[in-house]
Amino acid sequence: MSTDPGQALTALLDEPTSAGDLQPMPIGTVPLGRVDGRPVSVVVPPADAAARATSVTAALEVAARRRSPLIVVDLHQHAAGTAAGAGSAPLPLAVRPDPWVPIVAIGNDPWAVAGADLAVLIGTDGPRARRAATAEAAAELARRFLANLGPNPAPSAGPALGTALTELVPFETGAAYDIDAVLDAIVDAPGVLALDDDVDRGIRLGLARLGGRPVGVVASDPAIDGGRLGRAACRGLVRLVELCTAARLPLLSLVDSAGLRAAPTGDEPTGDEPTGDELVRALRAMWAAPVLKVVVVLGRAHGPAAALLGAVGVRADVVAAWPRARFAGPDPDAPPAGTGPAFAAAPTDAASVWQAARDGALLDVIAPAETRGRLLEVLDVYRGAERFDRG
């Protein structure tokens, strides 16, 4: 496992960095580099625990004045027999300056990257983080993240996968399919950059480009517990919505969810059942997000999960659905009434997608093959509209 910050910075920055800049930096010293031509501020925190937080706080203030992304490279050798995180103190990455700037943290300790917009761990795993085997792989993740934040449109590379959506998704509602392949057939190559490696929570969260324009992406995964959403999904959704709001990115939501995760009757809770507070926080984040929200219902939109993903009740700007889509009321496996927030009622007839369109709950019912083209049209119509008043 690499403990040399120079490897990561040399792989990431456009120009070679001087040897002095690759060492832990005096507090307030924040070199300015470029990643694919974009100015970035760089900090390598010292190993001394007392100085680490002060060093990063000062770097955040400098990056905010420059209005440049901040790259934090915190790679330190742990003492023999000491686990990553043991005796470490988290860096103050969750406390953001005004104006907001994106933060990319590369480290070998979960504490060193916690709170960053993109957290990359080299040679180890951690919550809300991407794992990279090498410094070069970590740099590539950082480069893709910054590219997907924009701000400028890029030439569209076309979809990441040329396979027709009708070949990827069975017509029967409720059938499992590969949501990653569906995303690759919709967004530009090289596909969605996931913000972490947690694929077991039944949801994909990340950044991509669509017709060259950067977007945030949320997609439920029907192959994992029917796309039901749990505690981890709610927390990750809030994180993505906050990132899209700060970066002024449109939010694309693909919905195929059977509802919320819940322990079967009589079984012990698994620990991933969302609490009422977590549901309320996620719903409020989706409701209030002042960005363009575009929703496509691919299959099931059941209960509160439909609201969490924007299909009903959260003031999405555009909601469309495939013919196989089915709306339904509360999920029978959801927590008992009273444990979660109220949400705007979806059509109760499970075969009412056409009626929902006639009633105005949907903008349109679209064929799967039309999905990418229709999404590009929506982005063209709303071009330049960075903020939406949700008051």
Please write the tens of the pLDDT for every residue from 104-161: 999 988 988 989 999 999 988 888 899 999 999 999 999 999 999 876 667 777 887 8
* CATH 3.90.226.10 domain range(s) in the chain: 5-148, 165-381
Confidence (pLDDT) at 339:
36
How high does pLDDT run on average in the chain? 82
Write out pLDDT tens, residues 203-217: 999 999 999 999 999
Distance CA 359, CA 89 (A): 54
Distance CA 36, CA 147 (A): 8
Domain 5-148, CATH number (from 3.90.226.10, 3.30.499.10, 1.10.1020.10, 3.90.1170.50): 3.90.226.10
CA distance readout (Å), 331 to 226, 256, 284: 11, 13, 20
Tokens of 319: 């909601």
Distance CA 310, CA 251 (A): 10
Pairing status of strand 38-43 against strand 32-35: antiparallel
- Return the closest-CA partner of residue 110 out of 94, 89, 96: 89
Q: Which fold has domain 165-381?
A: 2-enoyl-CoA Hydratase; Chain A, domain 1 (3.90.226)
Tokens of 291: 């960005």
pLDDT above 90 coverage of the chain, percent: 43
Confidence (pLDDT) at 352:
67
Tokens of 361: 């709950």
At residue 98 the predicted structure's pLDDT band, cuts being 50, 70 and 90, is confident
pTM of the model: 0.86
